[in-house]
Chain A
Amino acid sequence: AQTVTQSQPEMSVQEAETVTLSCTYDTSESDYYLFWYKQPPSRQMILVIRQEAYKQQNATENRFSVNFQKAAKSFSLKISDSQLGDAAMYFCAYKRGNQGGKLIFGQGTELSVKP
């Protein structure tokens, strides 16, 4: 069975600094997707960035980028130039590459941003 592990329950970063959130996963599949979702206090799950396993290039979305290490089954999220609005719970998620399919989430990392 696939699993997703986030080993950092809480992280803190100074405004304008860079922070990296860690995620590891376990799967025997070769075709899958990885996601980072942000969940602010409003509790809506917002897609931050996604990575297709077949792509070697790391995904980037503005200030957000990932370090995808397929062999190590690691998928970390880097937030550059952190802003107060980045404070939220961040979830790493895995999905098999077949049509449909469920998301498997980690336990989350709560990020606080200090002004």
Chain B
Amino acid sequence: DAGVTQSPTHLIKTRGQQVTLRCSPKSGHDTVSWYQQALGQGPQFIFQYYEEEERQRGNFPDRFSGHQFPNYSSELNVNALLLGDSALYLCASSIRALGNTIYFGEGSWLTVV
């Protein structure tokens, strides 16, 4: 049983560019959340998707957008990249009806230069 998988694992982008990160949830999970973790800090919630809709959003600008597909996989898009967007982006999956089990992927390291 595959866990949460994310791609790519590492990438370098130039300021002003756009990036797309991908996540496949754990088998049987229907909810995907994205978190940003800057170096030396705890993860910060970006948004959550369920039934292909954004259900909850953290304090992130509109440059951050996402999508969930019918197979529950998800994408995180960031436009007009800033140096401050450099971080580890973590995807977490869960079963919406069960609030107490949340699994994370290995993350995507984004460096903006």
Contacts and interface: CB of A to CB of B under 8 A. Distances in A.
B106 A44 contact: yes
Given A47-B103, A95-B99, A105 B42 contact: yes
B101 to A, nearest CB: 8
B74 interface: no
A50 B100 contact: yes
Interface residues on A, range: 20 to 34
Contacts of A106: 42
B17 to A, nearest CB: 23
Contact of B42 (A46, A97, A99, A108): A108
A27 B31 CA distance: 24
B107 A43 contact: yes
Interface in B38-91: 41-45, 48, 50, 55-56, 58, 88, 90
A90 to B, nearest CB: 11
Contacts of A98: 99
Q: DSSP class of B's interface residues: helix, strand, loop or mixed?
A: strand
Contact of A33 (B35, B92, B100): B100
Interface in A29-63: 33, 35, 37, 42-47, 50, 52
A37 B92 CA distance: 13
Contacts of A99: 96-97, 99
Contacts, number: 69
Contacts of B109: 43
Contacts of B94: 100
Interface in A87-115: 91, 95-108
B43 A97 contact: no
Contacts of B41: 107-108
A42 B104 CA distance: 12
B24 to A, nearest CB: 15
B102 interface: yes
Chain B CB count within 10 A is highest, among A37, A99, A108, for: A99
A102 B45 contact: yes
